[in-house]
Structure 1
């Protein structure tokens, strides 16, 4: 996004992006002769009147805008012709933002979806007049196979908003949490560090006072929550990159293993096209198959991933993962060989 300023460009770093965007909208209304007043601008920009007053002052002092208040019209106008430096989105920039909005379409029908739609509508006015984009046509021409969001969207938006605020303000959160693996509900005090979206679900990475370690919690399994007044400090030994370093996405285990998986020649063509993990090493074999090596700790997560490839993937190491997969495959085999559902007539 190009912003061209001549004399006062050095001060632009002190102007926030939000304020700069509001200033351009204020300028458009004034330049169009609509005589907007503070109340009108505050309502349409969804900010306080005090914020609008600061923006107008910035427009005067920083950009040198000849703004005066017209008492008869009860709004602002320019004493003489005035224009701001160009601030325009290119067609490519707008399309990129649009695609980002589509990727977040799982929040449609929620406050997130409405915020995204409003932002896109506002950004569209920044396109040059020579550029026209048909959003309805884009809806027909482009689609995404996004994994459905897990959980109730209204509940997720509510807990997400409170957790994000708690992270930003460093407040501990009291939660009632359902642990699916144990089918148990517990009350916990957590210090939320980070929100992460992975494979259709939102998680919060947090220090758990109950377990006395950093863990992850699925937002859709938080039954009740309350942001407390208790403030926390992020543990000095915590690093998000380090926490996720030996994970395929979110899960961690107590020990890091060298995971070695052999993929047959058919699956190998697809495996080598993807970047699976920062530690991965791929060894291509003469028969067209390949061996993928990664350093991971969350073996349950790896097991589920490997099983998704069926007989085209074989775990070579570590032994405990190979045994886990073998037991799962044996159980599945018995399930299918013993017969289908009662009365189905299968087998």
Structure 2
């Protein structure tokens, strides 16, 4: 889902090229106007796409007698063969990525998906539809990103262009302009964020995509750092926040140890089964989100280390209890 949405423009062009190639191969009468109608674009766009295909060594010309574009020679065989596991993965991608995603471009991605899968052989289409029928659509993003400025930010990141954004800092309810160098769009736990160098803070920061209200070009270029890695940048993060690296030790009660053991934790960790329960040792980036995660497990997990995390949990539990005291 996310990948399709983030490359919406490229996917639309790929779809157009696919439609043009199929039309040429069909042998039917085909004109630039008909291609533009089929692809939902203007004539200039179709002509540019045809020029691109010619540069890619697809040989065709305009036959004035037939008033049609004609292939000079047949295209190489493009038979698609997929195994059962690939079909299932394809259907799961559709269910998870094109469902109630809340992502920008979801409707266009669905249309492009339908056009691309229509090119599959009939037997594969029927099998794919059958598999899709037993897969529920995913809930997708945790926020509505359909009005997010995704295309502008992704384009700026792709072309290394500094942009000025109008950003709403929710924690302070403050709206301000700032220049940023967009590195990438980062999907994290159902949220979309922009990883970018902030010229105001002079550091790499994460910006909530739905809190970016405007995007303005600056005409400036930036050189992305060679050693930047989102995975390294988010190392130890439980969710979307970062902080000081801190070692933690948790003890899960035997009653829930099996569920804690199955969980794929986002930070580096090790597990040890003991008579008292499942011992988890790890290193996290900041304590706020691991505190929230521990609250999710309730009284069936005990924080052994560090004292600061124990104190933060005690303070939160006391505040919750105070709300329910008679």
Q: Same fold (TM over 0.5)?
A: yes
If the length of structure 2 is used for normalisation, what is the TM-score? 0.82
Kindly state the Cα deviation for residue 252 of structure 1 after the two structures are TM-superposed. 0.9
**Structure 1 residue 274 corresponds to structure 2 residue 290:** no
Partner SS for 1:130? helix
Distance in 1 of aligned mates of 2:224 and 2:199 = 13
Q: Please say if residues 39 and 49 of structure 1, whose CA atoms lie closer than 8 Å, have aligned partners that are also in contact.
A: no
Rg: which structure is higher?
1
What's 2:286 paired with? Answer: 298
Change (3 A) 1:203 1:54: closer
1:172 to 159, 162, 166: 162
Give TM-score, length-normalised by structure 1: 0.78
Whether 1:35 aligns to 2:24 is: no
Report the alpha carbon displacement of residue 180 of structure 1 after superposing the two structures with TM. 2.5
SS for the counterpart of 2:124 is: coil
Q: Report the alpha carbon displacement of residue 267 of structure 1 after superposing the two structures with TM.
A: 1.8
Equivalent in the alignment of 2:214: 224
* Relative contact order, higher structure (CA 8 A, sep 6+): 2
CA separation in 1, counterparts of 2:114 and 2:235?
38
Question: Distance in 2 between the 1:129 and 1:241 partners?
Answer: 41
Question: How many residues were matched structurally?
Answer: 312
Pair 1:44-2:33 in alignment: no
| SS of match in other structure, 1:127 | coil
Q: Structure 1 residues 95 and 165, CA, compared in 2 at 3 Å: closer, same or farther?
A: same
Instruction: Check 1:147–1:76 CA distance in 2 against 1; reply closer, same or farther (3 A cut).
Output: closer
Change (3 A) 1:54 1:208: closer
Please list, as runs of the form range in 1=range in 2, the aligned pairs for 1:189-204 lying within 5 A after superposition.
189-204=179-194
In 2, distance between residues paired with 1:154 and 1:19?
21
Structure 2 counterpart of 1:320:
308
Question: Distance between the aligned counterparts of 1:19 and 1:223, measured in 2?
Answer: 27
Q: 1:18 to 1:39 in 2, by over 3 A?
A: same
Matched with 1:330 is 318
The alpha-carbon deviation at position 243 of structure 1 amounts to 0.6
- Contact conserved, 2:104 with 2:150, CA < 8 A, in 1? no
Q: Which moved more, 1:207-216 or 1:221-230?
A: 221-230
- Which string of whole-angstrom CA distances, capped at 9 and with x for unpartnered residues, describes residues 147-197 of structure 1? 55314x3422xx111111111121222223222233333332222212112
CA distance in 1, matches of 2:286, 2:143: 21
Report how far residue 85 of structure 1 moved: 1.4
CA distance in 1, matches of 2:20, 2:170: 51
Distance 2:240 2:313 in 1: 20
Q: Which moved more, 1:104-113 or 1:94-103?
A: 104-113
- What CA deviation, in whole Å up to 9, does each residue of 1:172-227 have, x standing for no partner? 22223222233333332222212112233211111122222111111122233323
* Deviation (angstroms), 1:270: 0.7
Q: Is this contact kept in 2: 1:174–1:189, CA < 8 A? A: yes
Alpha-carbon offset, residue 136 of structure 1:
6.8
Task: Kindly report which structure 2 residues correspond to 1:11-26, keeping only aligned pairs within 5 A, or say none.
Answer: 25-26=19-20
Q: Distance in 2 between matches of 1:276 and 1:51?
A: 46
String of CA shifts for 1:6-65, please: whole Å, max 9, x gaps.
xxxxxxxxxx9999876664443234332212343355345430321341464545xxxx
Residue 120 in structure 1 maps to residue 118 in structure 2: no
Q: Which residue of 2 is the match for residue 85 of structure 1? A: 77
Distance in 2 separating the partners of 1:19 and 1:145: 26
Question: Is contact 2:164–2:177 with CA below 8 Å preserved after alignment?
Answer: yes
Relative to 1, partners in 2 of residues 1:195 and 1:106: Cα closer, same or farther, differing over 3 Å? farther
Task: Give the superposition deviation at 1:96.
Answer: 2.6
